[in-house]
Amino acid sequence: MKHIKRVATNLFLPLVALLCVAGCSSMAPKYTRPAAPVLASWSNWSANKEVQTIDVKTVADIPWREFFVDPQLRKLIVLALENNRDLRAAILNIERAQALYQIRRSDLFPKINAMAGANYQLVPKGFSTSGSPVTVDQYSVGLGAVSYELDMFGRVQSLKDQALQQYFATEQTRRSAQISLVSQVATGYLTLAADRENLKLAKDTLASQLDSYKLIASRFEAGISSALDLQQARTSVEAARVDIARFTTFVAQDENALNLVIGSPVPADLIPTSLSETLTCLKEIPPGLSSEVLLHRPDIIQAENLLKGANANIGAARAAFFPRITLVSSVGLGSEGLSGLFKKDSFAWQFAPQISLPIFDAGSNKANLMVSEVDRDITVAQYEKAIQSAFREVADALAQLGTIGDQLAAQQSLTDASAERYRLSQARFDKGVDSHLSVLDSQRSLYVSEQGLIGARLTRLSNQVTLYKVLGGGGDGDMKH
**CB-based burial of residue 135 (10 Å sphere; 0-12 exposed, 13-18 middle, 19+ buried)?**
exposed
Look at residue 47 in the predicted model and tell me its pLDDT: 44
Look at residue 282 in the predicted model and tell me its pLDDT: 67
What is the pTM for the complete model shown? 0.77
Domain boundary among 356, 379, 408: 356
Q: Is residue 466 part of a domain?
A: yes
Q: Is residue 481 part of a domain?
A: no
DSSP 8-class letter at 60? G
Look at residue 420 in the predicted model and tell me its pLDDT: 93
Of the candidates 260, 259, 277, the one whose C-alpha atom is nearest the C-alpha of residue 70 is 277
Q: Are residues 334 and 425 in the same domain?
A: no
Instruction: Tell me the three state secondary structure of residue 262.
Output: helix
**CB-based burial of residue 51 (10 Å sphere; 0-12 exposed, 13-18 middle, 19+ buried)?**
middle
Q: Are residues 438 and 340 in the same domain?
A: no
Q: Are residues 139 and 222 in the same domain?
A: no
CATH number at residue 118: 2.20.200.10
Of the candidates 144, 121, 141, the one whose C-alpha atom is nearest the C-alpha of residue 133 is 121
Instruction: Tell me the three state secondary structure of residue 398.
Output: helix
Q: Are residues 205 and 133 in the same domain?
A: no
Q: Is residue 121 part of a domain?
A: yes
Total tally of structural domains belonging to the chain: 2
Query: Which residue blocks in 263-363 are alpha helix, DSSP H?
Result: 298-319
Q: Are residues 91 and 201 in the same domain?
A: yes
Q: Is residue 209 part of a domain?
A: yes
Q: Is residue 180 part of a domain?
A: yes
Q: What is the chain's pLDDT, residue by residue, as a tens digit (481 residues)?
A: 444 444 444 544 454 454 444 445 678 888 888 888 877 766 654 444 443 343 345 677 888 988 898 899 999 999 999 988 888 887 788 888 888 777 777 777 777 777 777 777 777 877 777 777 877 777 777 776 666 777 778 888 888 888 888 888 888 888 888 998 999 999 999 999 999 999 999 999 999 888 888 888 887 888 877 788 788 888 888 989 999 999 999 999 999 999 999 998 999 999 998 887 777 876 566 555 677 778 888 889 999 999 999 999 898 888 888 888 777 777 777 776 666 667 777 777 777 777 787 887 888 888 989 999 999 999 999 999 999 998 888 888 888 888 888 999 999 999 999 999 989 988 888 887 877 788 888 888 999 999 999 999 999 999 989 988 998 888 875 444 3
Q: Are residues 285 and 346 in the same domain?
A: no
Q: Are residues 240 and 388 in the same domain?
A: yes
Q: Domain range holding 133? A: 1-24+111-150+324-356
Of the candidates 58, 53, 37, 73, the one whose C-alpha atom is nearest the C-alpha of residue 297 is 58
Q: Are residues 60 and 120 in the same domain?
A: no
Look at residue 11 in the predicted model and tell me its pLDDT: 46
Of the candidates 31, 32, 467, 464, the one whose C-alpha atom is nearest the C-alpha of residue 281 is 464
Phi then psi dihedrals of residue 142, to 5 deg: 175, -175
Q: Are residues 163 and 46 in the same domain?
A: yes
Q: Are residues 254 and 125 in the same domain?
A: no
Look at residue 48 in the predicted model and tell me its pLDDT: 43
Q: Is residue 185 part of a domain?
A: yes
CATH number at residue 306: 1.20.1600.10
Q: Are residues 280 and 336 in the same domain?
A: no
Residue 455: how many CB atoms within 10 A of its CB? 15
Q: Is residue 142 part of a domain?
A: yes
Q: Are residues 185 and 200 in the same domain?
A: yes
